[in-house]
Structure 1
Amino acid sequence: MPVSTLLLVHEPEAICLKRLLAEGFDREHAAEISSYLAQSTDLAAEFDALSQACEAHGLAFHQVELDQAPAALAGQERQRTLVWTLTDGIAYFRGGAAPALARLNGLSVMGADDSLFALCQDKFRSGAVLGALGLPVPAAGLARNGEWLVGPPASSRGWFVKPNRLGAKIGIWPDSHCHDLGAALELSRRIFSAYRDDALVQPYVPGRNVRASFLGVNRQDGSEALGISFVDSGSDFQTMSDSLALYGETGEAAKMRGTYAEPELAAVLDTWPEADRKIRELAASMIRGLGLRDVFSLDLRVVDDNTVHLIEFEVCPGLPCFDFRAYCKSQWGLGLPEAMAKAAANRLTDVGSKAI
């Protein structure tokens, strides 16, 4: 019989879409924004498998929609309950409230504390903190609807422009790499018009795209358990349309049409071992200095001279995404439900024995 409980809190894609429409977003852009929550849609099909995997580890599993979280978390037994936030957000999405609700109820969480859930959702602020820690993050300017809030750094390679508080490649277009600041300001106007967001303007960083994924299946796991892979999509960077074709209802439609194509993953260690070493050292610094733990991901660009650029980090990575599934299989030899259940069970072993 299960003796402990895993509560997986998620914000459904459809509820977010309805709320955005009520706030006055047009349907096209509301659908783009809510697609960020496609992992909630995608993982729903595996809730039964996750429940079975949890039961095998002595856990009761309950999926909790975000709007029901205040009631669901209240009164839970502190020493036998773990809260795992599947979908985050502090602006367009609201899942960042879940770890704060857990703390309010004295419950342990899987992952970083709630302050990092807020920090990583604001690219400009998180970049400032990462830079202060001495990490190799590109400097950035910030624009709002065609006006500079913070002037951009000089760049001989042009600039890359993206929304400040949106993920999943939302608001990234084929011309997001621009070559003059007038174009950068025009992109900020487009971003503000479509998404009501500021625009981050960074010097363009060359190199290959790398994703570093982490799930601490065992309590002692550190940066050695990272899965570090090149993510090659056939283009310099992924756009919003590329991302939409991989997840949620759009991804399922692409599978039905036979047009679904995942980017290729290749272990960085196999060909660029020095870059792999630098990324592990970087991650260890973030674990020590920033407080990353349990589950997270890093997005990086790596140049062929082994120069590493940290683009952003996530404390609530897309677990059902192809790259995280591949990581669970290659690193742990487990499917996603089994890896999640084992990680949660081991995380609960020290609940109640010390402050979490």
Structure 2
Amino acid sequence: MPRPTLILVYEPEAACRARLAAQGFVEQHALEISSYLAQSTDLPPEFPTIEKACAARGLDFLPLALDDAAKGLAGRPAENTLVWTLTDGVAYFRGGAAPALARLNGLPTIGADDSLFALCQDKFRSGAVLSALDLPVPPAGLASNGEWLAEPPPSSRGWFVKPNRLGAKIGIWPDSHCETLGHALELSRRVYGAYRDAVVVQPYVPGRNVRASFLAVRPETGTEALGIAFVDSDGDFQTMDDSMALYGDTGAQAVADGRYIEPKLSAVADSQPEAAASIRAIAARLMQALGLRDVFSMDFRVEADGTIHLIEFEVCPGLPCFDFRAYCRSQWQMSLPEAMAETAARRFFGR
């Protein structure tokens, strides 16, 4: 009988860029889109460390590029296999296929089921579901290439425009916080022309950016293990340029050039404990109502008076990102490789 094996499925940036180029995307836009997969560039150098941490716990570790996943998962014994999907995606990216492949082969997984991989990547649809659950999400309109598919509500603070299926909260350009709906439609034309995507148009909400991170190293872990931190940087919101300076090949160059300054993290509970408690309650609601489990993250805006706005949830948080590493250290007193290996070992051995 083979040893229990943790299989990590990931989609490389280069494979994504090649597909986008074949679909006619210009090189710069293909580079920008594929940069959302940067954790698949940042984590492989640590595969030997993850393998060592797994071996110390009686496990084998097998990283599989997504294009090899169908063959690599077929015929695996369910009792000795655990599949962890590193990257999601249902439009530009294909990572959402990995948990579906695991299910097709009867293999257990770390993380939510594959239906949530699709839902969280469509911001308009996921916002509608979150709103139906009476959670504090900004209402949204939807526009495509200069035409309204659903008009947004009025707003005294302007609107925030972001691609519907490309990433999450990123506004692409500095003028993504706009003052008129005419400008919002113009942004929808620019997004469609560059990325072939519709845009979500939401009333702009003020506040500080908050990231809530979760990893259930122990299977019975609940929201008491949620890490809730302000993420403070120089800008009000993240643009495409900001995103590309954070991770992957472009991030490494930004660090080398001195263009990247890591955002500062601080615990929300230290200054706004009631807001932190509310965020924990929202996480519990999502775990109960949507089936979030094992590993996920959520993004919020929190105003000075404690008003909370839920921006999005992710079923594949950026594991090698600075904030998730900090969460593993502070909550679990482990490095990222140790936390991943321990999470898998406890699923296999229950200790």
TM-score (norm 2): 0.98
**Which position in structure 2 is the counterpart of 1:78?**
78
- In structure 2, the residue matched to 1:52 is 52
Aligned partner of 2:139 in structure 1 is 139
Output the CA distance in 2 between the equivalents of 1:105 and 1:2: 17
Partner of residue 292, structure 2:
292
Return the alpha-carbon distance in structure 1 between the equivalents of residues 243 and 347 of structure 2: 32
Offset at residue 2 of structure 1 (A): 7.3
Within 5 Å, give how 1:278-317 maps onto structure 2: 278-317=278-317
SS at match of 1:165: coil
2:108 aligned with 1:104 = no
Partners of 2:39 and 2:138 in 1: CA distance: 28
Structure 2 residue identity aligned to 1:229: A
**Deviation of residue 348 (structure 1)?**
2.8
CA distance in structure 2 between the partners assigned to 1:151 and 1:169 by the alignment = 19
Equivalent in the alignment of 1:353: none
Q: Do 2:171 and 2:237's aligned partners in 1 also have CA atoms closer than 8 Å?
A: no
Q: Closer, same or farther in 2 for the Cα pair 1:284/1:337, shift >3 Å?
A: same
User: Residue by residue, what CA displacement relative to the aligned partner does 1:283-314 show, whole Å, maximum 9, x if unpaired?
Assistant: 01111111000000000000111111100000
Mapped pair 1:90 → 2:94: no
Aligned-partner Cα distance in 1 for 2:33–2:259: 23
In structure 2, distance between residues paired with 1:23 and 1:244: 22
**What runs of 5+ residues in structure 2 fail to find an aligned partner?**
none
Q: For the Cα contact (< 8 Å) 1:82–1:110, is it kept in 2?
A: yes
Give runs of aligned pairs for residues 1-356 of structure 1, distance below 5 A.
Answer: 3-167=3-167, 172-349=172-349
Distance 2:190 2:307 in 1: 32
Distance 1:154 1:349, change over 3 A: farther
Give the Å deviation of 1:154.
1.0
Question: How many angstroms apart in 2 are the aligned matches of 1:200 and 1:302?
Answer: 20
CA deviation after TM superposition for structure 1 residue 178, in Å: 0.4
Shift in Å at residue 256 of structure 1? 1.9
How many residue pairs match? The answer is 350
Structure 2 letter corresponding to 1:26: V
- Separation in structure 1 between the aligned mates of residue 171 and residue 233 of structure 2, nearest angstrom: 18
Counterpart AA for 2:116? L
Check whether the contact 2:102–2:109 (CA below 8 A) recurs between aligned residues: yes
Q: 1:169 to 1:275 in 2, by over 3 A?
A: closer
Instruction: Please tell me the residue identity of whatever aligns with 1:103.
Output: R
Q: Deviations over 1:249-271 (max 9, x none)?
A: 11111222233311111110111
Aligned partner of residue 329 in structure 1, secondary structure: helix
Distance in structure 2 (CA, Å) of the matches to 1:202 and 1:184: 10
Distance 2:315 2:349 in 1: 21
Greater than 6 Å deviation, 4+ residue runs: none
Most deviating of 68-77 and 233-242:
233-242
- Whether the 8 Å CA contact 1:85–1:110 is kept in 2: the answer is yes
Gapped regions of structure 1 (runs ≥ 5):
351-356
SS of alignment partner, residue 344 of structure 2: helix
Q: Using the aligned pairs only, state the percent identity.
A: 70
Distance in structure 2 (CA, Å) of the matches to 1:90 and 1:168: 13
Q: What is the RMSD of the two structures over their aligned residues, measured on CA atoms?
A: 1.2
Whether the 8 Å contact between 1:32 and 1:170 is mirrored in structure 2 is no
Cα deviation for residue 205 of structure 1 reads 0.7
Cα distance between partner residues in 2 of 1:44 and 1:131:
37
Q: Is contact 1:112-1:293 (8 Å) kept?
A: yes
Maintained 8 Å contact 2:139/2:203: yes
Give the secondary structure class of the aligned counterpart of 2:291. coil
- For residues 126 and 35 of structure 1, what CA distance do their matches in structure 2 show? 23
Does the 8 Å CA contact 2:169/2:311 hold for their aligned counterparts?
no
The answer (yes or no) to whether the contact 1:172–1:239 under 8 Å persists in 2 is yes
CA distance in structure 2 between the partners assigned to 1:30 and 1:90 by the alignment? 16
What SS class does the counterpart of residue 136 from structure 2 fall into?
coil
